[in-house]
Amino acid sequence: MKIKFIGAAREVTGSKHLIATDDGVNILLDCGMFQGKGLETDSMNKNLGFEPKDIDYLVLSHAHIDHAGLIPYIVKNGFEGMIVCTHGTRDLCAIMLADSARIQEHDTHTHNKKRAKEGLPPIEPIYTIKDAERSLGFFVSISYNNKFKINKNVSLVFTETGHILGGAAVNLTIKEGDETKRICYTGDIGRQRNLILRGPQPFPQADYLITESTYGDRLHDHQDDAQKKLLQVVVDTCVKKKGKLIIPSFSVGRTQEVVYSLHLLVNKGWLPKVKVFVDSPLSINATNIMRTHPESFNDDMLEQMEKDTDPFGFNNLIYVRTEDDSKKLNNYDEPCIIISASGMCEAGRIKHHLANSVSNKNNTVLFVGYCAPSTLGAKLKRGDPDVSIFGIRYAVKADIAVLESYSAHGDYNETILYLSCQDKKQLKKIFLVHGEYETQEKYKATMEQNLFTNIEIPEPMQEFSL
Ligand SMILES: [Zn+2]
């Protein structure tokens, strides 16, 4: 069989790895969108590097858009196979693909207005909400740790990675003639201790390993410190400065972790009595999906739920769904906490909150996640004295704070610990994907110090025989 690394090769977005067996079965691992590559992004997403109709099975590691975001596009272009994933991934895909389609339609509409002024014909969005809805008909979802036979020669088992709800390593067993080959694709690997989910679980022995390397050169803060730091920022902003605390946050995973952290602080009686607003429809939908998957929660979380059935609800917490209610927050003068999306401040309601608050020194903007270099979030994070929001320049007078320990990816110590469930001698080849090349080189060296061998860093479109 052959494997081709189509996306997330020497970079972090566009995850797509294509396995072609000798008897002609094509299995695509993830179908992610390329993101944040400026003008190139669109053509990179449209030039797939394969024919959608040729894919028999698409197996998903998780629902993040850089791993699943092109599903509606391949469905629109002739895919008729089966999409296999965990229950959590399927449920999240239902809201995330529709949300992504809404963004595509909205951005294209704005772009077409500019084109019309220049006398240019309109262009079509890469996919629409209808395409996103239609793609859900191809999904088959299964539980973790259950062997699923996708045809007479290919079976798979999903194991937990603790990255986001539904996140899974794909453990494939493929029979070719007399030979059986075991391939593990880890997808994205969470931190050893997630606040809500179970951490990454050991996975069956593989012959070939495809694994992420996002933080292959970095160590994170200890997670226990996160709650204390969060409380400190709340007290400094809402009590001492009597201002607003604005938290830009990813809708899936991060928002629920921040809400749950605040909930634990409320239970301890430590959180000042201020209103907490979660202002993002996608975050609200994602939180509702989290509520329906307690089977993925860790023991601490389950124990907590015996005392307190709703981990994502407490007095003073208000979920804001409508646009009108969101606008009302602009005139809310009391100290408060506003959690809104997107995490990198590139889209969504967070931009309105920043425009409204960033020039007031009593406020604080707290970052709890990664921001790609050219985004508004990154500009605020690195301390730019003024920023442009909706084409207007705003002086940055608010305090800027950063809390990195809520990361959804393990650092290199954590990922190496996770991979150490393998008998290293049985691993014939390790492929590093989903990382910047410099980071990957450093990670490769660290892995070699930990006695992993035969490590490759595939280039885009590079193919290997297994
Ligand atoms: Zn991810």
Residue by residue, DSSP assigns 152-202 as SSEEEEEEE--SSTT-EEEEEEEEETTEEEEEEE--S---SS-SSB--PPP
Distance 64 CA to ligand 1 centre (A): 5
- Angle between the N-to-C axes of helices 254-267 and 224-234, in degrees from 0 to 180, rounded to the nearest 10: 80
Helices (H), 200-247: 224-234
Distance 435 CA to ligand 1 centre (A): 12
Distance 255 CA to ligand 1 centre (A): 15
pTM of the model: 0.92
pLDDT over 70 (residue 148): yes
The two three-digit tokens of residue 118, written as one number? 């220049």
pLDDT (mean) for 276-301: 95
User: With DSSP H G I counted as helix, E B as strand and the rest as coil, what are the percentages for the chain, rounded to 5?
Assistant: 35, 25, 40
Distance 188 CA to ligand 1 centre (A): 5
Distance 160 CA to ligand 1 centre (A): 13
Beta-bridge partner residues of 430: 209, 455
Domain edges within the chain? 2-218+408-465, 224-406
**pLDDT grade for 38, boundaries at 50, 70 and 90:** low
Beta-bridge partner residues of 249: none
Q: How far apart are alpha carbons 202 and 147 in whole angstroms? A: 16
Distance 222 CA to ligand 1 centre (A): 21
Distance 148 CA to ligand 1 centre (A): 23
384: region left, alpha or beta (phi > 0 left; psi from -120 to 50 alpha): beta
Phi, psi angles (nearest 5°) of residue 150: -90, -25
Distance 67 CA to ligand 1 centre (A): 7
Beta-bridge partner residues of 197: 297
Q: How far apart are alpha carbons 349 and 281 in whole angstroms? A: 10
pLDDT (mean) for 418-438: 96
Mean pLDDT of the chain: 94
pLDDT 10s digits, 305-362? 998 888 999 999 999 999 999 999 999 999 999 999 988 898 889 999 999 999 999 9
Distance 117 CA to ligand 1 centre (A): 38
DSSP state string for 332-372 = --S-EEEEES-TTSSSSTHHHHHHHHTT-TT-EEEE-S---
Burial of 320 (0-12, 13-18, 19+ CB in 10 A): buried
Distance 79 CA to ligand 1 centre (A): 23
336-340 and 139-142 strand pairing = unpaired
**pLDDT grade for 375, boundaries at 50, 70 and 90:** confident
Q: Which CATH architecture has domain 224-406?
A: 3-Layer(aba) Sandwich (3.40)
Q: How far apart are alpha carbons 408 and 194 in whole angstroms? A: 8
DSSP state of 456: E
The two three-digit tokens of residue 66, written as one number? 């850089």
Q: Are 226 and 403 in contact (CB under 8 A)?
A: yes
Strands annotated E in 264-313: 275-279
Burial of 44 (0-12, 13-18, 19+ CB in 10 A): middle
Q: Are 393 and 387 in contact (CB under 8 A)?
A: yes
Distance 386 CA to ligand 1 centre (A): 31
Residue type, 12: V
Contacts 24+ apart (CB under 8 A), 106-112: none
Does residue 250 sit in helix, strand or coil?
A: coil
| Stretch (H or E) spanning 441 | helix 437-449
Residue type, 272: P
pLDDT 10s digits, 162-196? 999 999 999 999 999 899 999 999 999 999 988 99
Distance 167 CA to ligand 1 centre (A): 8
Distance 370 CA to ligand 1 centre (A): 12
Other C-beta atoms closer than 10 Å to the C-beta of 152 total 8
Distance 325 CA to ligand 1 centre (A): 31
Distance 111 CA to ligand 1 centre (A): 28
Residue type, 133: E
pLDDT 10s digits, 39-61? 788 889 999 999 999 999 999 99
Distance 292 CA to ligand 1 centre (A): 20
Superfamily of domain 2-218+408-465: Ribonuclease Z/Hydroxyacylglutathione hydrolase-like (3.60.15.10)
Q: How far apart are alpha carbons 418 and 202 in whole angstroms? A: 7
| CA 409 to each of CA 193, 199, 218, 279: distance values in angstroms, whole numbers, following the listed order | 11, 11, 11, 25
